[in-house]
A and B are shown apart, each in its own frame.
Chain A
Amino acid sequence: MFYLFASVIVIFSILTVTSRRILRSAVFLLFVLIATSAFYFMLRYTFLAAAQLALYAGGIVVLIIFSILLTSHISERFPQITFKKAFFSALVAGAGAVLSIVTLLQFDFDQQYDGGQTAELPVRDIGKSLMDFGEEGFVLPFEVISILLLAAMIGAIVIAKKKKD
């Protein structure tokens, strides 16, 4: 099961950056995000998986598709990228990937087995941690994120609105 979703992620993320039709690459990105959410389900973080599905796959991809429809023609294809540019970009990315993977394989992770614990994380614990200010409490980042989201929404409206002449 894991390897199925892993191959979905790898294949569709490559298709996302190589597809020459912009709407198709948005749909491939949607598949990648859904497979990511499946990873979270497999790790038993169901709340996080639901948030991923609702916000990423439901919100951001729809926003991207809307802006694609507003700014480009559907049937339009991107011009073929030059071989030189593709080669050097692939060289940079591949070198980085090989370096990271070799480092990962050499590092000895101290994996802790949680005793075959498969019970999912209760949402009550998540809510308590979000509102708590002691140890394991996250009320400050929660408030900061709230302000950030509000500021981003206002900023987006101000930037995108039509200017009166």
Chain B
Amino acid sequence: MIEGIPIVHFLIVTTIMFFVGVYGFLVRRNLITILMSLELMLNSVAINFVVFNKYLYPGHLQGHFFSLFIIAVAAAEAAVAIAIIINVYRRFNNINVEDVSNMKH
């Protein structure tokens, strides 16, 4: 733990970050900005895992590894999402969620 900083301060910061991501997810209409809001939420959750690990169970490493795996999953998710976005752009010529409403078949 860091001297003089209680766990709640970390958790409040990550809570604000998460709900800013939720706000962006609801408000934005562009697929890439929605993806960025998603990254914000994922990132705040990863910080939470690390902080719980460090403050509540300092002898163990579970939270540390969990956020390592979250980072790897986020990389995979971003790659697939961007491939899909580029494909959608080819088909519809823009990436607004309102215009992309019908599938191929």
A residues with CB within 8 A of B:
2, 6, 9-10, 13-14, 16-17, 22, 25-26, 29, 32-33, 36, 39-40, 42-45, 48, 51-52, 55-56, 59-60, 63-64, 66-68, 70-72, 78, 81, 85-86, 89-90, 92-94, 96-97, 100-101, 104-105, 109-114, 116-117, 121, 125-126, 129-130, 136, 138, 141, 145, 148-149, 151-153, 155-157, 159-160
Contacts of B23 in A (CB 8 A): 17, 89-90, 92-93
Which B residues between 2 and 37 are near A, CB-CB below 8 angstroms? Answer: 2-3, 5-13, 15-24, 26-30, 32-33, 35-37
Q: Which residue of A lies closest to B51 (CB)?
A: A43
CA distance A82 to B11 in the complex (A): 31
Is B79 located at the chain interface by the 8 A CB criterion? Answer: yes
A36-B43 CB under 8 A given contacts A104-B15, A114-B1: yes
Within the complex, the shortest CB–CB distance from A97 to chain B, in Å, comes to 4
Kindly identify which residue among A13, A66, A85, A86 contacts B17, using a CB–CB cutoff of 8 Å.
A13
- Per the CB 8 Å criterion, the residue count for chain B at the interface is 71
